[in-house]
Amino acid sequence: MSKVSHTFTDCRTEVGITVGLIDGVIAIARVLAARDLTSHDVQEALKDLRCDEDIAVVLGEKLAAASFKRLRADLRLAKKERREAESENHRLRADISLSRDRRIEAEGEIWRLTELLRASM
């Protein structure tokens, strides 16, 4: 059993009414927990309760599911961006390698032209 918090809320305020309703749901759950829940009809009713959108909102499951969905989308985007960055990195490395090869060729050509110039003097 979870730890019970003790708070005092004015039951005439909007928050107080909401807290009272939640306390009522908890009280109903305590009564139901002590009952036989094995019959087919009861199991169907519990299945309906599990699938109820309002219950999901109250329990925060819908919010958690939306957050999880958002996180998965963010993860997919991050993976896509990483693949694009890796591709760009690969392209830049190829450009650097090509530039290095061109520089070596240019240095060889400069050396050859220098030798030709010396020979012609």
Instruction: Look at residue 9 and tell me if it is in a domain.
Output: no
* Structural domain count of the chain: 1
Q: Name 12's Cβ contacts closer than 8 Å, sequence gap at least 6.
A: none
The pair of three-digit structure tokens given for residue 63, joined into one six-digit string: 């919010």
Give pLDDT tens digits for 65-120.
Answer: 777 778 788 888 888 998 999 999 988 888 888 888 888 988 999 998 898 888 88
> How long, in residues, is the chain?
121
Q: How far is CA 4 from CA 19, 27, 51, in A?
A: 14, 13, 27
Q: What is the mean pLDDT of the chain?
A: 85
User: Which domain covers residue 111, as residue numbers?
Assistant: 36-120
Taking the whole predicted model, whether its pTM rises above 0.75 is answered as no
Please enumerate, as own/partner, the contacts of 104-113 that have beta carbons within 8 Å and a separation of 24 or more.
none
Instruction: Look at residue 69 and tell me if it is in a domain.
Output: yes
